[in-house]
Chain A
Amino acid sequence: MKRILGVAAVLVVLGAVMAGPVAAIALPPCPPLDPCNGTCPILAQFDANCYAYETMYTPATFMSTAGSQMTIVGLITQFGGPLSFLNANDPTKEYTFILSALVSAGTVVGANGPTQLFDTDYNQGNATFAIYEGSPRNAPSTPAAWAANPFGGVVVPANFTDGTLILSGMICGFHTSIAKTGTIVSGSFRANYQASGGTLLGTVGTGVGLLGGNWCATSGCQPANYTAQPNGKFDASGGVTAVPRTTWGRVKQIYR
């Protein structure tokens, strides 16, 4: 009896080992983008000072291992739409953001003619975003400062998550696409986002908007210890009518 149970136990263990890697989690489709009244304007733009860091990624081959966790931090350079009253260039303030819990499903390699393609879904976790207004400015904003502050140190990501949380929510369907044709490398990223928290939630609304832009993963785009440099924006969303800011004087004028 004991021998039969022992054999059964071994068989169970062997079955678990031989099952192979855990399959990617099948997720429901992302909620569709909400149309705007006209074209959707920029909500928040980010450019050079934005970098991604990933736990299991090989920069030389653009390969992300399944389960790799990516975090993106950056500085907002411009606001628009319902957030146009915010001034990203105010020297007394710093607007930062973080994208978290971007879990990789593993890079899929393809080809088309002379082009190698590297596509990665980061949709295996509950990805979120958060935008902060802080003071004074303390996040890296020069190449030297980024190079001196690798992810996981005292500055990054801490100095991108200090201050007042002005907007937060979920990210769905984050996807990067890198293409290599000879020595020419290019890339993009795309996701849907939906706000659900922050002091300015009532101003922005809870519609589903587009997040995306350029994804530079080739050497020369990012300092050591970072894996890519995104350059893009959150577009304003339609859907729920956001509450615009105004003054009491303007409100009174409406009724005169």
Chain B
Amino acid sequence: MKRAALLPLCIGASLLVFAGTAVADELLFAYTGFDYQNPNFSSTYLDLGEGYNVLGFVTSAGPLLTPYVDFSTYEYTFYLRNTSVIARFFAFPNLTVQFANGARASYYRDAFPPGGTAATYGTNPPNATAPSTFIDGTERITGHVDNLVLVYNFSTNQGSYAGNMTLDGGADLIYIPSSQYAGWTLGGLLGQPNPSIPAGYDHQVDGQCNIPSATPTVSRTWGAIKALYR
């Protein structure tokens, strides 16, 4: 009796699943837009204490969000803010800027078309439409950004930024497993000459938010597990 009862238990336990090796990060969403300084109280670009902001449109969503986004019905926008320069290194043509921890990055959904408001860059932000028309929908994903660093080369007129972004809010956070909250955000900057940049903005930005991929599992037999502890 005991042997018969044990047999299905052993069979049931003969194939166990364990976490395997982590794979590459996955896209959460991608965006494109423009950046500007605010507050901006100095003629020096990103002087100590000044703020850096990015406004833009979400251009695609990664696998976790794709089932819940509809670009034909909604307008999705992006906003990076609450940054403050705490360190600055400049030796022409290279600039490196480090920001205080606790910046914020979010993507929003607005019912445009048919309702809502069209996000409009305008000129010389902040202005009557920026950032207001980019953040007047519902906040779908938000997170705090730490270790944000921006670099720029004034000879090649291009630069980039990256920081650790930990998701902590938004209506769509429920679709992201908590094990994948610790991601990062990064962007490429293209400066003048650049005929796409509205007046008062500094650079064209192409960026994305990535999160760790789900840790895959591997199958092991019970015998292999026991062998680990012999």
Assembled-state Cα–Cα distance A232/B164 (Å): 21
Contact B190 A213 (CB under 8 A): yes
Does chain B have a CB within 8 A of A64? Answer: no
Residue of B nearest to A113 (CB): B89
Which stretch, B106-114, B152-160, B170-178, touches the partner chain A?
Answer: B152-160
| Known interface pairs A181-B96, A184-B149, A231-B30; A214-B156 also in contact (CB < 8 Å) | no
Closest to A89 in B: B71
| Residues of chain A lying within 8 A (CB to CB) of residue B221 | none
Interface of B is mostly: strand
Taken together as a complex, chains A and B put the C-alpha atoms of A215 and B160 apart, in Å, by 9
The answer, yes or no, to whether B219 is at the interface (CB within 8 Å) is no
Q: Assuming A112-B91, A233-B32, is B158 touching A143 (CB within 8 A)?
A: no
* Cross-chain contact B207 with A214 (CB below 8 angstroms): yes
User: Residue A188 contacts which of B26, B63, B188, B197 (CB distance < 8 angstroms)?
Assistant: B188
Interface residue count on the B side (C-beta < 8 Å): 51
User: Of B147, B159, B198, B206, which is within 8 A of A177 by CB?
Assistant: B159
Q: Give the Cβ gap from B26 to chain A, nearest Cβ, in Å.
A: 6
Number of interface residues of A (CB under 8 A): 54
Question: Among residues 151 to 197 in chain A, which have CB atoms less than 8 Å away from a CB atom of chain B?
Answer: 175, 177-179, 181-190
Closest to B199 in A: A39
What is the distance, in angstroms, from B44's C-beta to the closest C-beta of chain A?
Answer: 16
Q: Are A210 and B194 in contact (CB under 8 A)?
A: yes
A186 touches B195 (CB 8 A): no
Please name all residues of chain B whose beta carbon is closer than 8 Å to the beta carbon of A89 when the two chains form the complex.
Answer: 71
How far does the Cβ of B41 sit from chain A's closest Cβ, in whole Å? 23
Query: Which residues 1-47 of A sit at the B interface, judged by CB distance below 8 A?
Result: 32-36, 39-42, 45, 47
Tell me whether A68 is interfacial, beta carbon within 8 Å.
no
Q: Which residues of A are found within 8 Å of B160, using beta-carbon distances?
A: 177-179, 186-188, 214-215
The distance in angstroms between the C-alpha atoms of A42 and B57, with both chains bound, is: 12
Extra contacts besides A45-B32, A113-B91, A177-B158 (5): CB < 8 Å: A48-B60, A179-B160, A183-B147, A231-B188, A231-B208
Q: List 28 A-B contacts (CB under 8 A).
A: A33-B195, A36-B196, A39-B197, A47-B208, A48-B208, A112-B89, A112-B95, A142-B63, A177-B158, A178-B160, A179-B151, A181-B96, A182-B147, A182-B149, A186-B149, A186-B160, A188-B189, A214-B160, A214-B186, A214-B206, A215-B160, A219-B24, A221-B24, A222-B24, A231-B207, A232-B188, A233-B32, A235-B196
Residues in chain A within 8 A of chain B (CB atoms): 32-36, 39-42, 45, 47-48, 77-78, 89, 110, 112-115, 117, 119, 142-143, 175, 177-179, 181-190, 210, 212-216, 219-223, 231-233, 235, 238
